[in-house]
Structures are given as structure tokens and as C-alpha cells.
Amino acid sequence: MGYAAYLKNLLLPLGVYDLSVGSVSEGELYALGSALDTAAERLETVERESLTATAEDEGLDRREALFARKSAALTAESRRAAIAALLQIDGDSLTPEAINRTIQGCGVRAKALEVDTGRLRVIFPDVNGVPPEFREIENIVLDILPCHLEVEFYFRYLTWQECEAMELTWKGVEADLHTWESFELAVPEEQA
């Protein structure tokens, strides 16, 4: 029910106004109701976009513009989580747990480990070799981490034992179909 119908129902019991179809009073209520409907729709959009938890488009874009880099997140839900993670960064965010929360909140599938004092190693669990979106991930991680920390990126490659085990799980697949790179990035079905 729009505002025009609401206003008409509100004034009808008074009996003072001619609210019949085509009357001047009914036309005024229709015009006023249409303007109120438009204002209500705009206010609903403003309310939704002004809160990070409910923002979908413009609100997320405006918040992401506050940061040096856009997160790797793609969906509205993951973008909200990334923004929330980035907003939590402060002077006490230098613990490995806080850094990992922030990195993972930005949609980056990586984990930071403290190797020594002032030195972090960033690993990519469940990824063999260099992740395809590594350049974007590297930029995001280096923006998030404090500049006084030394950061090394650690990539995991398949061992010969894992390759031999994969051969057993790939029965019926011809080796000629694979290049070194496709074999390097392959994950056994049991581990996926």
C-alpha cells in the first residue's frame, strides 16, 4: 500500500473531504502520496547503504575508496567482511592473529606466520605453486602489514612423493595431456 492510499484511508473517517475518484482532494493526495513514496524509497536506500552490514553497491564502493587497495573479495557479503576487517586495523593490530584476521577478512587465502621478531612469512595453504592472483594478493598484503616488518612469501610445490601418490589416483588419465605447469598446479582428488 502506497502513501496515497494510506493518506486516503487516514482522512476518510473524518468525512470532511471529497475523496471520490477524480476529485481535487483525491488528486492532491495522489500527488502528495507519490512524492512520499519516492522519498521513502530513497531513504530506504540511504539507510541500507549507510551501514556496512547491509550495504550492497554505493555504500561498499564508497567505503572501499577509503583504502589504498580494493580487497580481493567479489561478493557483497565478502566485501562487507573485508571492509570490517580493514576498519579494525589500529596500533594494536600487530599480533599474528590480528594480521591473519585482517588478511583473511580481505578475501585473501593466505596466512601470516611470525618467523622471527620483525619478520613474517606469508604462506598459501591448499595452494600448490604461486596463486594465479598473486600480484593482487601481494599488493593487498603489503598494504595491510606494517612497513617495518620484513615479509617473505612462501610458495609450496609438490614433492616427488606427492607426485607418485597422484599417479596412483589418476588411473586412466594420460600423462601426455598435462604440461609441467598443469601438473605442478594439480591437486589430488583426495586432498581437494
169 and 149 in a common domain: no
Q: What's the confidence (pLDDT) of residue 80?
A: 86
For 110-126, the three-class secondary structure string (H helix, E strand, C coil) is CEEEEEECCEEEEEEEE
Q: What's the confidence (pLDDT) of residue 71?
A: 67
Q: How far is it, in rounded angstroms, from Cα 30 to Cα 5?
A: 8
46 and 66 in a common domain: no
Structural domains counted in the chain: 3
Domain extent, residue 28, equals: 3-50
Q: Are the CB atoms for 61 and 70 separated by under 8 Å? A: no
Residue 8: in which H helix or E strand, if any?
helix 3-11
Is the four-CA dihedral 60, 61, 64, 69 of positive or negative sign? Answer: positive
15 three-class SS: coil
151 and 62 in a common domain: yes
Over its length of 192 residues, how does the chain's per-residue pLDDT go in tens digits?
Answer: 799 999 888 888 888 888 888 899 889 989 999 999 999 999 999 999 998 889 988 888 888 888 766 666 678 888 888 787 777 766 666 677 777 877 777 677 788 888 888 788 888 887 888 887 788 778 877 877 777 888 899 888 877 777 666 655 555 555 556 666 665 555 554 444
Q: Are the CB atoms for 152 and 124 separated by under 8 Å? A: no
171 and 89 in a common domain: no
Q: How far is it, in rounded angstroms, from Cα 14 to Cα 86?
A: 56
Cell of 137: 594478493
87 and 64 in a common domain: yes
Q: Are the CB atoms for 86 and 108 separated by under 8 Å? A: no
Q: What's the confidence (pLDDT) of residue 38?
A: 94
122 and 62 in a common domain: yes
31 and 80 in a common domain: no
92 and 150 in a common domain: yes
Global pTM value: 0.51
Q: Are the CB atoms for 108 and 117 separated by under 8 Å? A: no
Cell of 49: 547503504
